[in-house]
Amino acid sequence: MSRIYDALKKAESKREHLGLGPAPIGMPPGHDPNAGWGHTPADPALAPLPLLGGVDLTEDAIRETTALRVNLENTLPERGIRAIMFSSAQAGEGTSTVSLQFAQSLAHGSMRVLYVDAHARRPVCYADDTQRYAVLDPRIASAAMAGFMTPNLAAIPATEEAVRAGLISPQAVRSIVDSAMGSFDWVIFDGPPVVESPDSASLAAQLDGVVLVLHAGRAKRPVVTRAVDMLRKSGGRVLGTVLNRRVHEIPGFIYRRI
Ligand SMILES: Nc1ncnc2c1ncn2[C@@H]1O[C@H](COP(=O)(O)OP(=O)(O)O)[C@@H](O)[C@H]1O
Ligand SMILES: [Mg+2]
């Protein structure tokens, strides 16, 4: 927690050094992610908080997350809310980064988005000491976005109970989605890696489906196949895959023309 605080402080002093003044901590006018929160969740620890900070959203990431959104909208019928989980076969493939990129990109497109940190053994999103904000671990947060909020984006950090148990319960997942109905268009779960976490596949079964994040050049076919089998056996639906950290052999601007 103090690492996060230190990072926020460092980003803040960098802003001051650049003459940018303090970051706009506090709700921008007209932005209240809790507004209209359908049913109060039974567990107050599951209440959505404004998310301070974010991950880098490059032009490539915006293009790819937009294509992913279009595919998912075609696959998942409109039923008021779409609730999906990002996951991977193993840890470190980029699930948190890609799920946050997707959540931020949807929110920029005026969707009301709830991001849920569901990786209890390695969370990246914490409630700050005042319990009023969700903050990102500097391990994945963009320094440029420290202290900034994305309108339309709220977050539920990993709860202390989940972190203690090392897992989040399918009931908690269900309760989050039920409470989000009517207040959010998308709920994005940052899920635990399927092969390494006993809870991952059963969480997936509560949701509309799973997008598997694969670390390009590192994800191995037998491990990914095993993850897909485990998800399907538990009743989860694999909606597609995202190839993260793909290395472009030719410059990006040429890719866009071919
Ligand atoms: N596309 C990417 N470009 C640059 N760094 C990335 C990318 N995806 C992930 N990372 C970095 O790799 C590390 C692991 O990513 P993370 O999203 O935490 O993976 P996971 O959630 O699957 O464990 C983090 O330090 C993150 O910043
Ligand atoms: Mg993660």
The DSSP string of the chain is -HHHHHHHHHHHHHHHHTT--S---SPPTT--TTTT-SS--SSGGGS-EEEE------HHHHHHHHHHHHHHHHHS--SS-EEEEEE-SSTTSSHHHHHHHHHHHHHHTT--EEEEE--TTS--EEE-TTSS-EEE-TTT--GGGTT-EEEEEEEEPPPHHHHHHTS--HHHHHHHHHHHBTTBSEEEEEPPPTTT-TTHHHHHTTSSEEEEEEETTTS-HHHHHHHHHHHHHTT--EEEEEEETPPPSS-HHHHTT-
245 lines ligand 1 (CB under 6 A): yes
In a domain, 229, yes or no: yes
Please report the pLDDT score of residue 44 as a whole number. Answer: 79
94 lines ligand 1 (CB under 6 A): yes
From the CA of 91, give the closest atom in ligand 1.
Answer: 23
d(CA 245, CA 173): 29
28 CA to centre of ligand 2 in angstroms: 28
In a domain, 176, yes or no: yes
Q: Kindly give, in sequence order, each residue whose CB lies less than 8 Å from that of residue 148, ignoring residues fewer than 6 positions away.
A: 23, 24, 52, 53, 54
> What phi and psi values does residue 50 have, to the nearest 5 degrees?
-65, 135
Atom 2 of ligand 1, nearest CA residue:
245
63 lines ligand 1 (CB under 6 A): no
Please report the pLDDT score of residue 2 as a whole number. Answer: 44
Ligand 1: residue of 140, 142, 242, 244 to mutate (most ligand atoms within 8 A of CB) is 140
Please report the pLDDT score of residue 77 as a whole number. Answer: 86
Estimate the crossing angle of helix 59-75 against helix 95-108, to 10 degrees.
Answer: 80
Atom 8 of ligand 1, nearest CA residue:
94
In a domain, 6, yes or no: no
Averaged over successive runs of 10 residues, the pLDDT of the chain (258 residues) comes to: 44 40 37 50 83 94 95 91 97 97 96 97 94 94 93 95 93 94 96 94 97 94 96 96 81 58
Please report the pLDDT score of residue 29 as a whole number. Answer: 36
27 lines ligand 1 (CB under 6 A): no
How many residues in total does the chain contain? 258
Ligand found nearest the CA of 90 = 1
Q: Kindly give, in sequence order, each residue whose CB lies less than 8 Å from that of residue 221, ignoring residues fewer than 6 positions away.
A: none
d(CA 107, CA 44): 24
What total number of domains does the chain contain?
1
Among 29, 22, 28, CA closest to 8: 22
CATH of the domain at 182: 3.40.50.300
In a domain, 191, yes or no: yes
In a domain, 58, yes or no: yes
Among 80, 33, 43, CA closest to 173: 43
Ligand found nearest the CA of 55 = 1
207 CA to centre of ligand 1 in angstroms: 24
Please report the pLDDT score of residue 220 as a whole number. Answer: 93
Ligand 1: residue of 68, 95, 97, 136 to mutate (most ligand atoms within 8 A of CB) is 97
In a domain, 32, yes or no: no
In a domain, 23, yes or no: no
At 139-188, the pLDDT tens digits run: 999 999 988 999 999 999 999 999 999 999 999 999 999 999 999 999 99
The pTM score is 0.85
In a domain, 15, yes or no: no
Please report the pLDDT score of residue 38 as a whole number. Answer: 52
- Host domain of residue 190: 47-247
> Residues with beta carbon < 5 A to ion ligand 2?
95-96, 119
Q: Token pair 């279009």 is at which residue?
A: 70
Atom 4 of ligand 1, nearest CA residue:
245
Q: Kindly give, in sequence order, each residue whose CB lies less than 8 Å from that of residue 31, ignoring residues fewer than 6 positions away.
A: 50, 149, 151, 152
d(CA 251, CA 246): 12
Rg over alpha carbons for the chain, rounded to the nearest Å, is 18
Atom 10 of ligand 1, nearest CA residue:
94
